[in-house]
Amino acid sequence: MPFFSTLSYSSCNEDWRTERRALRVGPGDRALAITGGGDRPMHLLLDDPASVTAVDANPAQSALLALKLAALQALPFDEYAAFLGLEPATDRVARLEALRPGLPDDAAGFFDRERAAVARGVLYAGRWERHYARVARVGRALRGASIRRLFAFDDLDAQRAWVHEVWDRGWWRLVFDAMCSRTLSRMVLRDPAFYAHVDPDFDIGAYVYEGMRASLGRHLARENFMLSLVLLGRLAAEDLPPYLVREHAATIRARASRIARVTADLVTFLEQVPPASFTRLSLSDVPSYLDASTFERLLAAVARAAAPGARFCIRLFLTSHEIPERLQGTFVREPALEEELRADDRAFAYRFLVGTVRPSETRGAAA
């Protein structure tokens, strides 16, 4: 399926602040992260773990992480940011040639075939990022002046009032229904997260619209990387993910060698690592790609691969998998924190399963 062999995510599609609050990574931690756009494993380094194992079933995502790390380690910050696509540049393919000897074979081979994406800047080359650019064009055509106004607010109360009086319109909601429809997602976006395991009664347009509207009550649009991606087709200058901010990129560069890349199915990988391998698990919204029984298998594998007291963070997007009864004594959830993160996450469409994995000897007693 092309979704699992071509670049799907390339910039940053999840709020790094949430992951930090959920996981509380610290020195000595052995973290596991889904690779995605490469941002999540890179950001975990900011809290000084001993290691980060970055896993993704899609070799394109693993290759992207390798390229980002190689560019970060080889280039001064401004050149690294321009090479990725944050700033204009005309010499990206030449830079790729210079980076090539330092790239692992899989990444060198992948980007030899993807020179056009490198030339344009890999930051916005993902399927999702290209989709956002299309959505932004539709938005501009339908409501260009209002979108410009929205991103001009620098006072949250004023933004809130304007959202209520001007932004929130019935016809605009209907646009979201159309843009999020299962049919369009199947035909255009082709990301199974939008249709494969979503309950037929789940109202996707309303869910996304309401999440966005609530988020506009909590954060200025101009300080929301996700809203900027969706409505402007680019990351917000005032809310850049840390790996694209000079001082944080320097910290990540110094610790980059702690990341190990793994291209594998997460469930199979976790079933095969030694027990108690990880103290922190950042699992993204992988449940979006799993049916209920594979989700249960994932949880059992997490329980086995997690060290006693390990913290986990799982995002739920459109699927609503529950932790099955037999595993409820294993995962100690933190509902107050989950609710805070749901409300505050600037990627605005996630619910959370967050907490610790109970040591195996006390599971039976607590179940």
Ligand X SMILES: C[S@@+](CC[C@H](N)C(=O)[O-])C[C@H]1O[C@@H](n2cnc3c(N)ncnc32)[C@H](O)[C@@H]1O
Residues forming the site for ligand X (CB under 6 A)? 4, 8-9, 13-14, 34, 36-37, 55-58, 61, 265-267, 284-286, 289
Identity of the residue, 34 or 357, whose beta carbon is nearer to ligand X in the bound complex: 34
Q: How far is the CB of 166 from ligand X (least distance, A)?
A: 30
CB of 137 to ligand X, least distance (A): 22
Residues recorded for the chain: 367
Closer to ligand X by Cβ: residue 75 or 117: 117
CB closer to ligand X, 14 vs 47: 14
Give SS3 for 56: strand
Sign (positive or negative) of CA dihedral 55, 60, 63, 67: negative
Shorter beta-carbon distance to ligand X: residue 108 or 267: 267
Between 75 and 298, whose beta carbon lies closer to ligand X? 298
CA distance 158 to 208: 23
Q: How far is the CB of 102 from ligand X (least distance, A)?
A: 23
CB of 332 to ligand X, least distance (A): 23
Closest approach, Cβ 315 to ligand X, in A, equals 7
CB 227 within 8 A of CB 157: no
* Minimum CB–partner distance for residue 211 and ligand X (Å): 13
Cα angle: 301, vertex 302, 306; to 5 degrees: 125
Q: Which residue is nearest to ligand X (CB)?
A: 36
CA distance 347 to 231: 13
Q: Which residues pair with 213 in a beta bridge?
A: none
Closer by beta carbon to ligand X, 2 or else 28: 2
If you ran DSSP here, which 8-state letter would residue 358 be given? P
Single-letter amino acid code for the residue at 149: R
Pairing, β 51-56 against β 306-316: unpaired
Residue 294 near residue 304 (C-beta atoms within 8 A): no
The Cα 197–Cα 301 span in angstroms is 20
